[in-house]
Amino acid sequence: MDKADVVIVGTGHGGAQAAIALRLAGHEGSILMLGRDSEPPYERPPLSKEYLAGDKPFERIMIRPAQFWADKGIAMRLGAMVTEVDPIAHEVVLHDGSRIGYRKLIWAGGGDPRRLSCPGASLKGVHAVRDKRDVDAIMAQLDEGARRFVVIGGGYIGLEAAAVLRKLDCEVTLLEALPRVLARVAGEELSRFIEAEHRAHGLDLRLETAVEAIEGDSGKVTGVRLSDGEVIPCDAVIVGIGIVPAVGPLIAAGAAGSNGVDVDIYCRTTLDDVFAIGDCAAHANPFADQAVIRLESVQNANDMANTVARAIMGDKQPYHALPWFWSNQYDLKLQTAGLSIDYDQTLVRGDPASRKFSVVYLKEGKPIAFDCVNNTRDYVQGRKLLESEIGEVDLDLLADPEVPLKDLL
């Protein structure tokens, strides 16, 4: 039976950073990464942005050049799906039944795209946007002449894909079930601004719109039927309605968790010597008043990976990293710092009509998050403000875009 000192499940952002951080911290034992994907670690954010647009080839979205892993003595087995964890024997089982022993296991499985549950959901031409294969399939359809797209879901991924497709001059309809886009992650000011931008770029954006079925002919998509009976004809459907954490084998092995897998401040699961990081790890977040949440961001995957590498190297430090995120749509650069969960007030710095402004989220008079549109200065200084865990601030100064946020420190 094969064995490694540290086995990492998942070759995405979290898994890759965990291996890198272990080596940087001087870990000399064997490291084995197991990934069900067929490509070495690559960045996911460009999949709905520059990669889909054809502006960045695959080589430019790889997390490290292919040779890096071998140079660092990091073994990688691709096309290897872990189906079972045996926490007593300290072994994982692969899809082919082979077993691999570990001293420490890091689970960085991310998530699987949530699928539609309506009729027609598995017709050819219905795409998720989670991995390279998904986006390659969309690009292949574009190459074959597909021009009419329906995007289901007005979260970041759906909106980014819609923006790229509009830039490619496709006809795009975006369907959102809720009364506004980005409803789960942003306040109304940002949602309304983003909606107006997309409409100005020719997107047919429909809110509070429910999908009844995907229609097809000879196994291929021909349209999307809405609950009011209208059928929107299309060549392809892109579904961006969230993910389901990929933690089945861990939960089956007895790890605690209901929305993903539960981890403590050192990213330890309830199984001995098993850590979990990234999109699948439910943790009490200090920037959300210790609410137990999962974060789906590169920041969270990387910072959790660093926390685990330190813990394995005997330098235990609790996970305490300010959440941040970004999104690009058309020429808009959106940067987010902090978490707006349970905000009770918002302030807008600057005029949205100028296409450069920030939304500040407050709770009990204290800033807890910033959404900055084409406003990197506010983003950088807003991060510092949040990291300083500042209390109540002068709201008139905060609302004045002429006052740099650093002056509030």
Residues that bind ligand FAD (CB under 6 A): 9-15, 34-37, 44-45, 47-48, 81-82, 108-110, 129-130, 157, 246, 249, 278-279, 296-299, 301, 325-327
Instruction: Determine contact, residues 369/337, Cβ cutoff 8 Å.
Output: yes
Nearest CB to ligand FAD, comparing residues 44 and 198: 44
Q: Least separation, in Å, of the C-beta of 328 and ligand FAD?
A: 7
Q: Least separation, in Å, of the C-beta of 78 and ligand FAD?
A: 9
Q: Least separation, in Å, of the C-beta of 299 and ligand FAD?
A: 6
Q: Least separation, in Å, of the C-beta of 305 and ligand FAD?
A: 8
Nearest CB to ligand FAD, comparing residues 44 and 268: 44
Phi-psi category of residue 378: left, alpha or beta, with phi > 0 → left and psi -120 to 50 → alpha: alpha
Nearest CB to ligand FAD, comparing residues 56 and 225: 56
SS in 3 state form for 63-81? CCCHHHHHHCCEEEEECCC
Classify each residue of 362-379 as buried b or exposed e, where b means 16 or more C-beta atoms within 10 Å of its C-beta: beeeebbbbbbbbbeebb
Residue for token digits 């292949």?
Answer: 140
Q: Least separation, in Å, of the C-beta of 315 and ligand FAD?
A: 22
Q: Least separation, in Å, of the C-beta of 112 and ligand FAD?
A: 8
Nearest CB to ligand FAD, comparing residues 35 and 350: 35
Nearest CB to ligand FAD, comparing residues 232 and 298: 298
- Residue of closest CB approach to ligand FAD: 12
Nearest CB to ligand FAD, comparing residues 7 and 150: 7
